[in-house]
A and B are shown apart, each in its own frame.
Chain A
């Protein structure tokens, strides 16, 4: 019985040391090769997207599903359009099952399961949507503005932590 507290103390000390180590020291494994997307930059700064992409996608998912808001920014289909190159030969198309796919390149590395592509297309497809909504108008309704603000807030938080 008396050994328990000692064990816990030792485990806590080890955890603290590990937490203080800079990440590269632990990650001796090769880093993932992340394919570049089209265009100059993503809808948010890379650091923000790295940390919080799922928050944007989840939020947009619910807005689209339940309220019919179909802006392109943060839309999963647009992520795929930009980040997954469309192969001319369908047989050579990169799918999420391949480590070269944009999403799996990182998710495999981080060992985080993606539950998007059980249902969603993992390759670019024509959405049939003609509208250009990547830029949300300033006079847009509340939810669109919320997303903008959220992005700004996250950018700040993310920048502070780096």
Chain B
């Protein structure tokens, strides 16, 4: 299996590099994303890729929640027709939320979306007794709800309050986002889209609003837009002091 992987990697790196070069020349502001991750459906994901997200808070508008609504529509949680009909507001799922910040010293304000930060060393994975919380080879942190027992220790451990517990029976779930009573869930980075060479719904929605405050891509590909942008001054991770190396980065806050 390991032999297989190395040969595949060689081929894919070549392909990825070639396509990335092509991607840059398409048009300014229009990128061909995920080229390095373009994989046939029967191939497993590898650690040659690490998916990341950059939130440019200077472009994120206060009052805009297009990313939140897109996530809700894509994954079937929350919103006006939430299928959590009995849960209180504090009990309903919150995969992604808009947070408003005000600097206590300067009074400057910022608006940004907060979701699972897809850490390299996720505390949720460490504390999970059954291994249901796990990190995929390409850096996406997920809950395997098939073996989640609903102990909620991951929710205690997460520094970002990124996880939700389902408090009631659900109906009408999306085929791509199975969710059910008694298990924990969080942002999947739209793994079903990423595996099919598409961007997460929030990123797409932000671009459709004409803001492009969310940049998604492979942080291990030096040619990707996200890799280039991460080099800029003022890009940081939330609670970087904890040493978790999140895959989500924030610029301008």
Contacts and interface: CB of A to CB of B under 8 A. Distances in A.
B44 A69 contact: yes
Interface pairs A-B: 8 shortest CB-CB: A119-B180, A67-B44, A68-B45, A119-B178, A125-B175, A118-B180, A144-B42, A133-B41
Given A68-B138, A128-B198, 9 more contacts: A65-B144, A68-B191, A69-B44, A70-B192, A119-B170, A119-B173, A121-B174, A127-B175, A141-B42
B163 to A, nearest CB: 16
B145 A131 contact: no
B211 interface: no
A118 B191 contact: no
Interface of B: 1, 4, 8, 39-45, 134, 136-138, 142, 144-146, 169-170, 172-176, 178-181, 183, 191-193, 195-196, 198
B173 A120 contact: yes
Main SS class of interface, A: loop
Given A70-B41, A130-B196, A141 B8 contact: yes
Most A-side CB within 10 Å, residue of B41, B138, B142: B41
Main SS class of interface, B: loop
25 contacts: A67-B45, A67-B136, A68-B45, A68-B138, A68-B195, A69-B41, A70-B195, A70-B196, A72-B41, A77-B175, A120-B173, A120-B178, A121-B173, A121-B174, A125-B174, A126-B175, A128-B176, A129-B41, A130-B196, A131-B196, A137-B42, A140-B42, A142-B1, A143-B42, A143-B44
Contacts of B178: 119-121
Nearest to B145: A119
Contact of B134 (A63, A66, A77): A66
Interface in A36-69: 61, 63, 65-69
Contacts, number: 88
A71 interface: yes
A53 to B, nearest CB: 16
Contacts of B183: 119
A125 B179 CA distance: 15
Contacts of A82: none
Contact of A61 (B146, B174, B181): B146
